[in-house]
Structure 1
Amino acid sequence: MTEDCITYREFTPHPLLADYVKSYWYFSNESDTVHSFDIMPDGYFDLLISFKSGNIVDTQLTGIWSKMVSLDYLQGQIIGIRFKPLALYSLLDIRIKDILNNYCSLPLKAWGLNDEIIETKSDKSVLEVIKYIDESLLLLIKNEKEDIKLKYLFEQIGESSGITSIQSISDSVGLSARHINRKMNELIGISTKDYAKIVRFKDSLARIKKDKSDFIGYFDQSHFIKDFKKYTGFTPKEIDLGADVRFLQYYDFDNI
């Protein structure tokens, strides 16, 4: 794969969107060939806006990935919004359980976004598009619908890297583990325990880029390797996240 034809950048959302949006990102493939990329489970879901010659050609919503998937990208550009699960309740008021490990087409009007404005701004710069999306999402925040207990649940799982037991979180929240599990399944299509495992795995990826024997958060190294193979099909020693552009989110573009 020719790395110099691939561009990938991430951008930080407005601070008021921090509970709902992990990041905005931009991808560009300038070659005439199809490139395949391996997307790792990370506990987020994305809205993908695909461009060709400055025109929007498709908009897709992905579900949560509970396994590594390989996707083929053609020549063109994509601007993505990487959402946190809490956005489903307090920002977007939708559910994605039916597209677990999958995606569906979704018109931008459903998000309060205007195709024509985005296309006009895309002729100027990616930053102009992202600024417009950022400002539009700020208008969608539904503070009156904020579920404090659900927010606390996601915060505890995230801050503990998925290690804190679901029972201890349910005790702190004041909801039964069964109720929390039902709520999680209704939102994203997987159990609270499975979501926490994905978060633990996602946080381990940043560490193994530096040290492939770092299995902090797991009972032992064999448990870590077993979980890693479950999500990727590989052992930690068999992949190099920072040196292989197939792992787009983890590739070290600055070192090209």
Structure 2
Amino acid sequence: MAFQDLEYRTVQPAPELAEFVESFWMLANHSDAAQVVALVPDGRPDLVFADSATEPYHVVLLGLDSRPSAPLIPPRARMLTISWKLLAVEYLLPVRIAALLHTGMYLPTDYLGITVGDLADFDGFCAKVLAALLGRLPLAVDARKRKLFSLLYAADGAITVEALAEAAAWSSRQINRYFQQMVGLSLKAYCNILRFRASFPHLKAGKLFPEQNFTDQAHFIREVKKYAGVVPKELARNQDDRFIQFSTLPQK
């Protein structure tokens, strides 16, 4: 992949949205050719506003993934995206995403008041989305769910279901039912994805040994291969920048 043809930017959400939104980001393909990239599960549902030389403007909500994929970035494409935290599924998104595991659904092209013209200005897009989402914030959030997700993200998934249930005063059975109904995965499966994702910076730095509470090296290798389709050494090498989530990690 000619990564130099791709432009990437990311912006953190305002504090008022931090429980619901992980980031806003922009990816543009300045080439006249489609670019093949490799994506790995990262635990984020995405809302993508996109336009390209080969596809009309569209808005698509993407559910979670638990396996690697190799999508094409169309020529002259511009994609502006909201990456969500899971608390948003119940409180901000228009649908539960359980039915969107490994897939997505189109939303109206005027969703959140965004139009194709807004794709030309990433900063303006972020400001417009911020205003729209602030107007949709819930008046109250279930304290159990707030506690659960706060601990889950703070631990990068390296925490047991039992510990989360005890801290949130919410039974593990109820939590798993909630996760299956809302996102299509069990809590444990989601924890494993977060823990895998938290290993990205270590791998990019050339640290091929587990640092996220994996049982041992063999377990770490199995988990990386499960979610990335390659062993840790190959993922860390990231030949031709094809693993775009690694290519866009900030340099330490």
Question: Matched residue of 2:199: which SS?
Answer: helix
Matching of residues 91-110 of structure 1 within 5 Å: 91-92=92-93, 94-109=95-110
2:229 equivalent to 1:233: yes
Given candidates 111, 116, 121, the residue that maps to 1:119 is 116
User: Match for residue 176 of structure 2?
Assistant: 181
User: Match for residue 25 of structure 1?
Assistant: 25
Deviations 1:4-27 (A, max 9, x none): 211111111111001111111111
User: Match for residue 42 of structure 1?
Assistant: 42
2:193 equivalent to 1:194: no
Instruction: Compute the TM-score of the two structures, normalised by the length of structure 1.
Output: 0.90
Task: Measure how far apart 1:182 and its partner are.
Answer: 0.1
Question: Matched residue of 2:158: which SS?
Answer: coil
Task: Measure how far apart 1:238 and its partner are.
Answer: 1.3
Task: Work out the CA distance in 2 between the residues paired with 1:184 and 1:135.
Answer: 29
Task: Work out the CA distance in 2 between the residues paired with 1:225 and 1:231.
Answer: 10
Against the structure 1 CA distance between its residues 13 and 160, is the aligned structure 2 distance closer, same or farther, given a 3 Å change threshold?
A: same
2:11 equivalent to 1:8: no
Aligned AA (1:96): I
Task: Measure how far apart 1:66 and its partner are.
Answer: 0.9
Identity %: 28
Task: Work out the CA distance in 2 between the residues paired with 1:158 and 1:254.
Answer: 19
Aligned AA (2:81): G
Aligned AA (1:143): L
Q: Structure 1 unaligned runs (5+)?
A: none
Task: Work out the CA distance in 2 between the residues paired with 1:119 and 1:249.
Answer: 25
Task: Measure how far apart 1:58 and its partner are.
Answer: 1.2
Q: Structure 2 unaligned runs (5+)?
A: none
Aligned AA (1:184): F
User: Match for residue 87 of structure 1?
Assistant: 88
Task: Work out the CA distance in 2 between the residues paired with 1:98 and 1:190.
Answer: 10
Asked if structure 2 preserves the Cα contact closer than 8 Å seen for 1:49 and 1:56, the reply is: no
Task: Work out the CA distance in 1 between the residues paired with 2:133 and 2:241.
Answer: 30
Tell me whether 85-94 or 7-16 shows the greater mean CA deviation.
Answer: 85-94
Task: Work out the CA distance in 2 between the residues paired with 1:6 and 1:211.
Answer: 24
Aligned AA (1:83): W
Against the structure 1 CA distance between its residues 74 and 120, is the aligned structure 2 distance closer, same or farther, given a 3 Å change threshold?
A: closer
Against the structure 1 CA distance between its residues 72 and 237, is the aligned structure 2 distance closer, same or farther, given a 3 Å change threshold?
A: same
Task: Work out the CA distance in 2 between the residues paired with 1:44 and 1:59.
Answer: 17
Tell me whether 243-252 or 126-135 shows the greater mean CA deviation.
Answer: 243-252
Question: Matched residue of 2:37: which SS?
Answer: strand
Deviations 1:97-144 (A, max 9, x none): 0010111111144x4x224xx334444x22111211111111111132
Asked if structure 2 preserves the Cα contact closer than 8 Å seen for 1:67 and 1:232, the reply is: yes
Task: Work out the CA distance in 2 between the residues paired with 1:173 and 1:33.
Answer: 49
Task: Work out the CA distance in 1 between the residues paired with 2:74 and 2:208.
Answer: 35
Aligned AA (1:48): V
Deviations 1:153-188 (A, max 9, x none): 122121112121111211222221111100011110
User: Match for residue 212 of structure 1?
Assistant: 207
Aligned AA (2:22): K
Task: Work out the CA distance in 2 between the residues paired with 1:138 and 1:252.
Answer: 28
